Amino acid sequence: MKKNKALLLITGYIRYAWRCALTLLVSPAVFIAIQLLGGVDFYEMRYALYIIAAIYICAAAYSFSDYTKKQVMLWNALDNLPSDESAYPEGRGGIEESYRELALRFKAENEKTEDDARLASARELDYYTLWMHQIKTPISVIDLMAQSRGDIERSLLRQEVFRIEQYVEAVLSYQRLASIGEDMQLENVDIAAVIRASVKKLRPLFMYREISLSLQPFSFTALSDSKWLSFVITQILSNSLKYTGKGGRISITSPEDGILEIADTGIGIRPEDVPQVFSRGFTGSLGRENEKSTGIGLYLCKQVMDRLSHRISLSSVFGEGTKVTLDLRREELKPF
């Protein structure tokens, strides 16, 4: 291994210095040529040539020593990237300084990428850990119902099965979010039909929680993806059902074509929490401890809406209810 490195040093130095060496040899060659043309022979020039050779040998030795030092430091840095910039060899001249700066920038970018990957991995682990704790609850309820010798309350059973379906759909959407572009199919979507399908899916929860639905008749289409838009609407309705008490009301209206509003008479959200509701992992404070949340539902809605080039906003009065607005309009292209 040492022989290989010694050979690499020598061959590397030759490749590094041969152009400079050839350039420096031009001066003594010119000197000798002039002296010979003037009738001076080599014997008379020998002392001058000795001095020139000694200077060149010392310069080559210093240059080789400096090259070896830098190369060894670079090899050590490649084997184990140092955290301190002083461990990288200082550059001499503009080109070496630029290469050094480039290496340090690559190192910084690499460290940032690794930190981002670790943070993303930690977030995913937190989410999946909480998700597993959440899904255990409806499974436990169904298990207790199965062990019961009495009559099974079918509405409760359907509600728990639906909760499991919602958790599974959320985690699958979370996994597919990174590749939503490949899974997206834009078309003119009948929004009223999407609403009806989502309400039909959630009907058992409406009935079990005794929550009324006010659905304003409307008819418009939007250029969107029906599957992902259905996920968003179902998620918003599920949140409304989760935080609206028995006897409450959920209303779905369209104040104008392309605008959809879903409002409930639930517990609402504190004013200081409203700006953060679409942040990843945000679960809010008072009023939401009764049913632990992953803080991923509205985050997924915002991410999906952004990718669909739609807009989503939320307003709430604490203790009175929450309203989510979906703006499904797109800006029309203007001719040049």
**DSSP state string for 259-271:** EEEEEE-S----T
Domain boundary among 69, 89, 109: 89
Are 67 and 146 found together in one domain?
no
Nearest Cα residue to 230 out of 272, 185, 264, 273: 185
Q: How confident is the model at residue 87 (pLDDT cuts 50, 70, 90)?
A: low
Whether 333 shows a pLDDT value over 50: the answer reads no
pLDDT in tens, 220-242: 999 999 989 998 999 899 889 88
Give the orientation angle of helix 154-176 with respect to helix 191-208, to 10 degrees: 140
Whether 102 shows a pLDDT value over 50: the answer reads yes
pLDDT higher at 166 or 289: 166
Q: How confident is the model at residue 286 (pLDDT cuts 50, 70, 90)?
A: very low
Q: How confident is the model at residue 3 (pLDDT cuts 50, 70, 90)?
A: low
Any domain includes 108: no
pTM exceeds 0.85: no
Query: DSSP label at 84?
Result: S
Are 132 and 223 found together in one domain?
yes
Are 77 and 133 found together in one domain?
no
Question: Taken in order 212, 274, 288, 159, is the CA torsion positive or negative?
Answer: positive
Any domain includes 188: yes
Q: How confident is the model at residue 18 (pLDDT cuts 50, 70, 90)?
A: low
Residues 103-125: what's their mean pLDDT?
A: 78
Indicate the number of domains in the chain: 2
Distance from the Cα of residue 291 to its chain's centroid: 28
Are 36 and 152 found together in one domain?
no
Q: The domain containing residue 242 runs over which residues? A: 117-327
Contacts of 186 (CB under 8 A, 6+ apart): 223, 224, 225
The CATH number for 240's domain is 3.30.565.10
Residue pair 225/189 in contact (Cβ under 8 Å)? The answer is yes
Residue pair 233/198 in contact (Cβ under 8 Å)? The answer is yes
- Predicted confidence at residue 170, as pLDDT, reads 77
Are 225 and 126 found together in one domain?
yes
Any domain includes 336: no
Are 215 and 251 found together in one domain?
yes
